[in-house]
Structure 1
Amino acid sequence: MGAQRTSPAQAARPSSVPTPVETLWVRAADGVRLAVHRVRSTGPAVVLFHGVFCNRTVWLGTRGTGFAWFLAEAGFDVWVPELRGRGQSDVPRVWTIADWIEIDLPAIATAVERERPEGTWRWVGHSAGGVVVAAGLGRWSTLRARVRTAVLLGTPSPRRIGLARRLAAATFAAVARVAPRERVPGRWVQLGPEAESSALVRHWMGWNVARRWVGPDGYDYLASLQNVRCPVLGVAGAADRLLAPPSSVADLLRFFGGPTESWIVGRAYGYTRDYGHADLVVAREARQELWPRLRAWLATG
């Protein structure tokens, strides 16, 4: 799986940030080409994984104010992959969340390892990106050996799901079945800027209805989390009542085999307001009151 680099002069970069963004083109095992963006530094490597309906902009932003830049300013070597179907990566006819875990994740890890063969990495995932991080660590022993810590932002357990969320998941899956051209437009659900694969939506919502994370080969990702021994931080927004409620985020942590920590971001916990699902990664207030805590945790974890 080779990687080709776009020179800094060719890569997009926010005018307010002097460090350029490099783009590496990574070929996955099935031939799909993935875009992996990097804000280069010699500091600790951090890989940021987006969720469904999203792309690199959830981390890089559009004006140099995203979480990726916040980490880069402190010297972290920041990697922002775009999974298949997202952003500048290839768009297959269909793809599922299992493709992200089983095919894309190993290819991305190989690219990072080629550039940063020494040391360990930090992984951060938002929403379904956290599912990719968690399931990938549970699945692949080679990745567990390299990842020092993991942060899951708004990533829920499939087990702790109330009736309202299960009904919402079933409805969402039904909508995906009738979506035009096998795509669910992001504007339909207001979860991100991109259209998502109907197959992925059906797959993920099926997991929620069944209360399991199971691959197409029957592999139990949820049970495999017991293999993960690195420290894992779970962060939930106090106002996130449907997608990743605090109780569900905390419940996911109990499946891991190593030390875990749980944060709730809301007024009752010293924050200026109760955060929603997307607020963890895009809210203006997060830069002042949440991101510094995350950065410190990544630096010391």
Structure 2
Amino acid sequence: MADSPLPSQESLFITDKHHQLHLRHIHQNDNGAPVLMIHGAIENGKIFYTESGKGLGCYLAEQGFDVFVADMRGRGKSTPPIRDDQAHDQTDQITRDIPLMIEFIWQRTGQPVHIICHSWGGILVASALARFPKLVEKVRSQVCFGSKRSVYARNPEKLIKVDLIWKWLSPLIARHKGYLPARQYKIGSDDETRESLRQSVHWVKHTPWRDTRDSFDYAAAAQSTTWPPTWHIAAVADHALGHPEDIRRFIRETGNTDSFFTLLSKANGNALDYDHINMLTHPAAREDHFPDLVAWLKKR
């Protein structure tokens, strides 16, 4: 029997002043429920797909979803790259990029969107929904893989990845270079602006969930937000960047009562003890927890 054809892929762009925001459109069924995928810090959309058909984005397209994978401003195929335009931060992603992408998909499909996030992407999306309650009307559900806001975990991996690399070494490099060239230093798959790095470090340090640019109080707004159904997925071998207990703290901080939590581990019946990255990229995920995700999305 011949293999099924791979989903189609093309690049779409949203113009916002002098920025071009890139969405990778992956689809076999343009009438399927739309999915927007948001990556984390020092990442781009490739955490969700490859051009050869691997990754969660491609898997969802094979299951009939209409998938849009974001590159946040300056990352991936969005232009200009961070090295050429360093004067933006995570507030721009919260107040501009995410609302523009949700509205673009709403106008294109006429349907509310499922949002799937990895790591810090889940914090940015939650911030956007808390800040702009009308956006929630255009969101069908959200799924967060390894999304935490503050890091309370105490273990050797946290000391290296968070305290040493993220809080100390990365700001030092950013002050010297003007931005964080994470790809060059092999600490991430994409770069980060100096100000965006500063803002994320500030939130990671147990400080209030408040915007460092204009003091908007996300924590207070979250308490009156009508959240979409939300699934938080943690990995048992993720000891620092999305520690299960830190994810649970973030769930409580949002006040989202329509949410639930899953821990991926062998003890819970999964194929392996996943970590922060391979819960999205390991080949076993296609037969392990990806089908459960499809079933959950279809019920929404």
Give the TM-score normalised by the residue count of structure 2. Answer: 0.87
Identity of aligned residues (%): 24
The equivalent residue for 1:32 is 19
CA–CA distance in structure 2, aligned partners of residues 155 and 172 of structure 1: 22
User: How big is the shift at 1:214?
Assistant: 2.1
User: How big is the shift at 1:62?
Assistant: 3.8
1:13-53 per-residue CA deviation (whole Å, 9 max, x = no partner) reads: xx98443213221112x431111121242111110011122
For these two proteins, the number of residue pairs brought into alignment is: 284
CA–CA distance in structure 2, aligned partners of residues 19 and 178 of structure 1: 42
CA–CA distance in structure 2, aligned partners of residues 38 and 280 of structure 1: 22
Task: Check 1:190–1:182 CA distance in 2 against 1; reply closer, same or farther (3 A cut).
Answer: closer
CA–CA distance in structure 1, aligned partners of residues 220 and 275 of structure 2: 28
User: How big is the shift at 1:159?
Assistant: 6.7
User: How big is the shift at 1:217?
Assistant: 0.7
Q: 1:120 aligns with which of 107, 112, 115?
A: 112
Question: Which contiguous aligned blocks of 4+ residues in structure 1 show a shift greater than 6 angstroms?
Answer: none
User: How big is the shift at 1:64?
Assistant: 0.3
Gaps of at least 5 residues in structure 1 are 1-14
Alignment of 1:218-237 (within 5 A): 218-226=215-223, 227-237=225-235
Say if 1:232 and 1:253, in contact at 8 Å, map to a contact too. Answer: no
Task: Check 1:154–1:187 CA distance in 2 against 1; reply closer, same or farther (3 A cut).
Answer: farther
User: How big is the shift at 1:173?
Assistant: 5.0
Task: Please identify, of 251-260 and 231-240, the stretch whose mean Cα deviation from structure 2 is larger.
Answer: 251-260
CA–CA distance in structure 2, aligned partners of residues 190 and 67 of structure 1: 23
Task: Check 1:212–1:179 CA distance in 2 against 1; reply closer, same or farther (3 A cut).
Answer: farther
1:175-214 per-residue CA deviation (whole Å, 9 max, x = no partner) reads: 344342423323535332x222222112101111243332
CA–CA distance in structure 1, aligned partners of residues 73 and 88 of structure 2: 8
SS of residue in 1 equivalent to 2:167: helix
CA RMSD of aligned residues (A): 2.2
The equivalent residue for 1:167 is 163
CA–CA distance in structure 2, aligned partners of residues 174 and 258 of structure 1: 36
The one-letter code sitting in structure 2 at the alignment partner of 1:202 is R
SS of residue in 2 equivalent to 1:145: helix
Q: 2:99 aligns with which of 106, 120, 136?
A: 106
Task: Check 1:205–1:17 CA distance in 2 against 1; reply closer, same or farther (3 A cut).
Answer: farther
User: How big is the shift at 1:243?
Assistant: 0.8
Say if 1:59 and 1:67, in contact at 8 Å, map to a contact too. Answer: yes
CA–CA distance in structure 2, aligned partners of residues 183 and 177 of structure 1: 5
The equivalent residue for 1:4 is none
CA–CA distance in structure 2, aligned partners of residues 18 and 268 of structure 1: 34
CA–CA distance in structure 1, aligned partners of residues 34 and 193 of structure 2: 30
SS of residue in 1 equivalent to 2:287: helix
The equivalent residue for 2:45 is 56
Give the TM-score normalised by the residue count of structure 1. Answer: 0.86
User: How big is the shift at 1:240?
Assistant: 0.6
Alignment of 1:252-271 (within 5 A): 252-254=250-252, 255-271=254-270
